[in-house]
Amino acid sequence: MTTLPTYYLSHGGGPWPWMMETSRHLYRVLDASLKDMARQLGDRPTAILVVTAHWETPVFTFSTAERPGMIYDYGGFPPETYQITYPAPGLPALGERAAKLLTDGGMASATDPARGFDHGTFSLMQALWPSAHIPVVQMSIRRDFDPAAHIEAGRLLAPLRDEGVLIVGSGLSFHNLRAMRHPAAHAPSHAFDQWLQDSLVRLSGAQRNGRLLNWEQAPAARIVQPREDHLMPLHVAVGAAEGETGHLTYHEDDFFGGLAASSFQFGELAT
């Protein structure tokens, strides 16, 4: 079976795929990049492991619900967006296997049979595979936001890539909600995004890891990521493809009127 690449994807805001008629101008580029990603992957993934920025736990935890529900973890959207569903099945065996990979590697882990899909998962999955036919398992980020632990978790999960499991880190490369619509955030977002591209595409292995371990030293780091919850899924995706080349798969300079936002792929997709 082909070894699948890993991804760090900027997941956009709230339930945007269900609002394309009214917000297409905001998400047109992101939507096109995700559709292109799904086209390239084709039928290769047999399951998807989403490392979601919207689930924080003391130890890395994996969802094991057979039929996950929905978690509407956003506010201020139209009433109908609190009724949407993404009916993909879960895959308890994958959640259990992922947890065991961590435990066998000396890292504490847990499973959660009740966890539903949050918008860091269902918004991306709706854009990628609206048919909802591929099983999806969620992985939490660790509450301490330890960069080294998230990279190591990715290393331990890397064998899943040879088993048809697509590992997706779901976050947002710019995540300062208070500043998102403020022009003063534009320059910091571009400076940090350039650092991301320099670190993730031009470097790999120990050099790339070193950048991510010390991400707070990046230009405007704490302006762009005042809380690193939306960055930690990147560390897992990188750890699972540690020595492999990074590629920019989505980028725009005018996200929400002037912000820079990006997504990345790690490893090659065999043709």
pLDDT (0 to 100) of residue 45: 98
Backbone conformation region of residue 256, classed left if phi is above 0, alpha if psi is from -120 to 50, else beta:
left
Is the distance from CB of 6 to CB of 246 less than 8 angstroms?
Answer: no
> Distance of alpha carbon 16 from its chain centroid, rounded?
16
What tens digit of pLDDT does each residue of 83-107 get? 999 999 999 999 999 999 999 999 9
Domain spans of the chain, in order of start: 6-266
Nearest to 3 by CA among 197, 243, 227, 178: 243
What tens digit of pLDDT does each residue of 69-82 get? 999 999 999 999 99
What tens digit of pLDDT does each residue of 1-44 get? 689 999 999 998 899 999 988 776 789 999 999 999 999 999 99
Over the chain, what is the mean pLDDT?
95
The pLDDT of residue 255 is above 80: yes
CA distance 16 to 33: 14
pLDDT (0 to 100) of residue 133: 98
pLDDT (0 to 100) of residue 270: 81
pLDDT (0 to 100) of residue 250: 97
Domain 6-266 matching CATH 3.40.830.10: the answer reads yes
pLDDT (0 to 100) of residue 177: 67
Q: Is 216 exposed, middle or buried (0-12, 13-18, 19+ CB in 10 A)?
A: exposed
What tens digit of pLDDT does each residue of 179-207 get? 667 788 899 999 999 999 999 999 999 99
What tens digit of pLDDT does each residue of 101-157 get? 999 999 999 999 999 999 999 999 999 999 999 999 999 999 999 999 999 999 999
Q: What percent of the chain has pLDDT over 90?
A: 88
pLDDT bucket at 256, cuts 50 / 70 / 90: confident
What tens digit of pLDDT does each residue of 219-246 get? 999 999 999 999 999 999 999 999 999 9
pLDDT (0 to 100) of residue 24: 67
Torsion sign (Cα): 176, 179, 182, 188: negative
CA distance 81 to 174: 23
pLDDT (0 to 100) of residue 1: 67
Which amino acid, one-letter code, is at 43?
Answer: D
